[in-house]
Amino acid sequence: MTAASSDSPKRPFDSSLADSSPPAKLQRTSGSDPAPSGNTDGAPGGGEAAGEESKAMAAVRNPRAQRYLVAVEYVGTRFSGSQQQPNQRTVVGVLEDAGVHALSNVCHVDVERISKRKPGEVLPPHEPGVVKRAVNHFLQKNEGDIMVTDVHCVAPDFHARYRALERTYHYRLLSGPEPPSVFEKNSAWHIPEDLDIDAMKANSPMRTLDELTVTEVFPFMFFPSSLERSGMELSDGSLVYSRTRDLESSGKRVEGSCTSGEKLESDEGREFGKRLRHRCFVVTARARSFLYHQVRLMVGLLKSVGSGNLTTADVERILNAKAVTAAPAMAPACGLYLANVKYDLSV
């Protein structure tokens, strides 16, 4: 199995489904794909040499196996990475960068379907839906923090890493003095200070990326009351997040919503047992490939700008230095999500 996204080129893994009887069992195939897995906020996405390597390996693969492109989502908290490692639970070991989550990471896997009744007899490949259900059957028997979300049949030389056209990452930050909820502590980076979103937008170190944006969004643990909904609901029933109600209830001045000058709620007037809400920011980065830890380094830079520790001149100096040592500490892995890997599956 080779993934579209990984932190370092460790040993790869191939797995197979057995026969069609539900649910099919998983087996290792005899052949393996020694290509590196690609990048999760990690290594570059390959090139001509990598493409030639992929073609060369295709010639030695089992011609009776069907190659599938597999999309997986997982909570990265309890994983030690994506590639197999001795005595460690990894994404590939049960099916990236330790602690990084995925809304849609992608790998390819070669599966040869062998008859149970007649050993050695090769049967037609499983339909993608059968593969998805069978793999998830076994994954959910464990911790249940990883799941196959999509499966697609591809050509024998299709490579999940080298055929990727674009990768999108999201990074979640929670801003506010109160400690994060137990539901949030492993899913976002908590920043005690209030962040200046306007300064972060103005100093976005985009340069080589197709997109690098900062947006304020609904907090994850946000269950609005009927009164709060009345101030957010549009005519079509959808909600537009506004912190106006929060500020009104805390007795603060209200001139708008989601502005960088607003402070978070105080304890004054707060209902007993009700937590103060954090502001939630999402940094979105999109490009064909990323350098090692690039997204986390950029988020660390943006956080320093938003908290007032770096100026525009500092950002320019750091970017021009082109050295990791010039940048502030990178953001932790817990807030990073691989959101999407884009392919052209029409060819």
**Residue 155 and residue 195 in one domain:** no
Describe the crossing of helices 294-306 and 312-321 by its angle, rounded to 10 degrees: 160
| Residue 344 covered by a domain | no
**Residue 196 and residue 110 in one domain:** no
The whole-number pLDDT of residue 197 equals 92
| Residue 345 covered by a domain | no
Across all residues in the chain, what is the average pLDDT?
77
The distance between the two most distant Cα atoms of the chain, rounded to a whole number of Å, is: 77
Asked whether the whole model's pTM tops 0.85, one would answer no
Question: Which amino acid appears at position 91 of this protein?
Answer: V
**Residue 237 and residue 154 in one domain:** no
Domain holding 64, by residue range, is 2-164
Give the pLDDT mean for 38-54: 52
Catalytic residue among 7, 97, 145, 196: 97
**Residue 158 and residue 301 in one domain:** no
The whole-number pLDDT of residue 88 equals 56
**Residue 140 and residue 268 in one domain:** no
Write out the two tokens for 37: 């897995």
Q: Name the DSSP class of 114.
A: B
Residue whose C-alpha is closest to residue 263's, from 203, 194, 175, 178:
194
Residue that is written with structure tokens 């972060």 in the block:
200
| Residue 347 covered by a domain | no
Which of 116, 131, 164 is where one domain is finished? 164
Q: What's the pLDDT tens digit per position in 16-42?
A: 333 344 444 444 443 334 333 445 565
| Residue 136 covered by a domain | yes
**Residue 137 and residue 179 in one domain:** no
Which among 113-122, 156-165, 271-280 has the top mean pLDDT?
156-165
**Residue 203 and residue 106 in one domain:** no
Q: What's the pLDDT tens digit per position in 83-113?
A: 555 555 555 544 356 789 999 999 999 999 9
| Residue 13 covered by a domain | yes
Residue whose C-alpha is closest to residue 60's, from 29, 37, 30, 31:
31
- Verify whether residue 97 is a known catalytic residue: yes
Determine what percent of the chain is predicted with pLDDT higher than 70: 65
**Residue 220 and residue 105 in one domain:** no
**Residue 301 and residue 312 in one domain:** yes
- CATH number reported for the structural domain that contains residue 215 in this entry: 3.30.70.660
Which of 164, 197, 225 is where one domain is finished? 164
Q: How many domains does the chain have?
A: 2
Residue that is written with structure tokens 């090139």 in the block:
47
Is residue 97 within 8 A of residue 333, CB to CB? The reply is: yes
**Residue 139 and residue 171 in one domain:** no
Write out the two tokens for 93: 């070991």
**Residue 274 and residue 170 in one domain:** yes
The whole-number pLDDT of residue 258 equals 45
| Residue 285 covered by a domain | yes
Which of 113, 139, 164 is where one domain is finished? 164
**Residue 194 and residue 277 in one domain:** yes
| Residue 217 covered by a domain | yes
